Chain A
Amino acid sequence: MQSLKAEERESRGSDRDGNAWMRNVSVRLGERDMVVQVLDRVTCCFSCGQVTAVVGPSGCGKTTLLNVLAGLVEPQEGEVHTPSGDGHGRRAGYVFQSPSLIPWLSVRRNALFGAEVGRGLDAAVELRCGSLLNRFGLRGFSDAFPRALSGGMQQRVALARAVLAEARVILLDEPFSGTDYLLKWELEEELSQVVDEEALVAVLVTHDLDEAARLADKVVVLSVRPGRVKAQIEIDAPRASRLQRTGESTSLIEFWLQRIVAAVSSRDDGSDLASVQ
């Protein structure tokens, strides 16, 4: 039933520009007397070739928003559209907060898992897997089991898995929170490149406003629960110029960071008074 509905939606929505969007999406989770309204009439566009960061206080429904885009949660109201691209149905590359690797599969098989499940393996994706693992600093680990890897390395495998799924949408739930600074920068650059090269829709949920200022092309600020779109900030400085780690890029990031911080801490309509104080 649900998948039918999703297909219907995909055929109705325009796939020409490859963007993802949601319109008036409301989500209530829980059962019977424990129902919690998590998202409240969220309307938002996630453009292809852009990184859209979603920020907001904890529990404001950021992860639920990703789950809606991934098709894991069906909203009670509203419309969702994600580009399906290659005709393999609705799917997304998802990176969870925890690496969530499959413990009994090798690193290589883990990295290929998204591709295998989504559209099947072929020589090209297997070739790409090898080079991506090398790029992510996992050379020599492809036959190891996840247990042998550090948390940061596992998260890189998870990122590789999402990229190799070759879906049009990549969803990232605080993917870099467990990695050290140097690596974080590298991974951010890698992600930025992949998004550009393949015109992906990238949605990044993060607590780290600095990261949003560095990596995002657009920042969506959600209010406290139930999550509503409080502000949308279009960052009109190219991502590459902010990721350079020069004095110039630092001041650019600083400039945008201030605007994001202002938007996050502004009071909107009374319902989130608590968060402002």
Chain B
Amino acid sequence: MTRPARLIVSVLPGLCLLLVWQAYAQWRPDSDFFVGSPRGIAREVRATLAGGLLLRDFGVTAVETILGFLAGSFLGTLVGLLLWASQTVFLISRPYLVALGSLPVFALAPVVIFWLGTGIGSKVLIGFLSTFVVAVLQAHTGAADADPNLLRLTRAFGGSRRDQFVRIVAPSAAIWVLAGIRLNIGMALLGAFVGEFLASRAGLGHLIIVAQGLYNVDQVWVGVLGIMLIASLFHCLTLPVERWANRWK
């Protein structure tokens, strides 16, 4: 199947779903209140776009996700690498990392909001907390996974421990982190959303919560679609990065 043909075919099921949905809404107008309708969603999109609210909420969630992801991945990688340098520190900190890593972000989110307020900062920190441990463990695994033969080789060729770290260990760790980039960006998005859901003034999570309060199902769907759009967008952005990181495999 050619690429355009595949695209057309993959659009069809979604289109069918919308048509059936709309037909149902026409047939039973009273159901509109509970399940909404594509036409109602389109109306909501137009209305929120016109007021600039949709774009603002979309942008806020996207920015929170990116910042949380970058901070968590960067610092996590750094810490993971440092833990490679000292086995003792790693062993001491491992139970804490495992504890933090297995904690659902939902549990920490209220405290974070209590500390940082309902703005973007608290969402970034929640995103950071959800990605940090993954990045630490990925980086540490990658560093520990560095081929001992390559380390020996570097030394035989006259390289120092610094050379070993910079040329073998760090790339090996970075590759692991980059390879896990999609997982981590999903975690950051989840973190941002959870934060917005609990307390916020803007963002798609905020939009959904407000819509729920107003029994505006169509607007809830707008929020859901927005989240899906952000997730797909980041997915498309991470694909080339991931491909680049894995190009030698």
Contact of B175 with A104 in the complex, beta carbons under 8 Å: yes
Complex CA–CA separation, A190 to B168 (angstroms):
29
Stretch of B57-65, B80-88, B155-163 contacting A (4+ beta carbons < 8 Å): B155-163
Q: Is B28 an interface residue (CB 8 A)?
A: no
Write the B167-205 contact mask toward A (1 if CB under 8 angstroms, else 0).
110010001000000000000000000000000000000
Shortest CB-to-CB span from B183 to chain A, Å, is 20
Residue from B155, B163, B247 within 8 A of A72 (CB atoms) = B155
Contact of B149 with A117 in the complex, beta carbons under 8 Å: no
Contact of A117 with B163 in the complex, beta carbons under 8 Å: yes
Complex CA–CA separation, A186 to B155 (angstroms):
29
* B175 nearest CB neighbor, chain A only: A104
- Provide the residues of chain B in CB contact with A171, threshold 8 Å: 156
Residue from B152, B158, B247, B248 within 8 A of A117 (CB atoms) = B158
User: Number of residues in A with C-beta < 8 Å to the partner?
Assistant: 29
Q: Is A114 an interface residue (CB 8 A)?
A: yes
Shortest CB-to-CB span from B17 to chain A, Å, is 43
- Provide the residues of chain A in CB contact with B155, threshold 8 Å: 70-72
Shortest CB-to-CB span from B166 to chain A, Å, is 10
Residue from B147, B150, B156, B249 within 8 A of A71 (CB atoms) = B156
- Provide the residues of chain A in CB contact with B248, threshold 8 Å: 103-105, 145-147
Interface size class of B (residues with CB under 8 A): 10 to 19
Q: Is B153 an interface residue (CB 8 A)?
A: yes
- Which residues from 88 to 102 on chain A have a C-beta closer than 8 Å to any C-beta of chain B? 88-94, 96, 98, 100, 102
Complex CA–CA separation, A110 to B154 (angstroms):
11
Contact of A113 with B158 in the complex, beta carbons under 8 Å: no
Shortest CB-to-CB span from B171 to chain A, Å, is 6
Chain A residues engaging chain B, CB cutoff 8 angstroms: 67, 70-72, 88-94, 96, 98, 100, 102-105, 113-114, 117-119, 145-147, 165, 167, 171
A selection of 29 A-B contacts at a CB cut-off of 8 Å is A70-B155, A72-B152, A91-B156, A91-B157, A91-B158, A92-B157, A92-B158, A93-B157, A94-B157, A96-B153, A98-B149, A100-B147, A100-B149, A100-B153, A102-B150, A104-B171, A104-B175, A104-B248, A105-B248, A117-B157, A117-B158, A117-B163, A117-B167, A118-B157, A119-B158, A145-B247, A145-B248, A146-B248, A147-B248
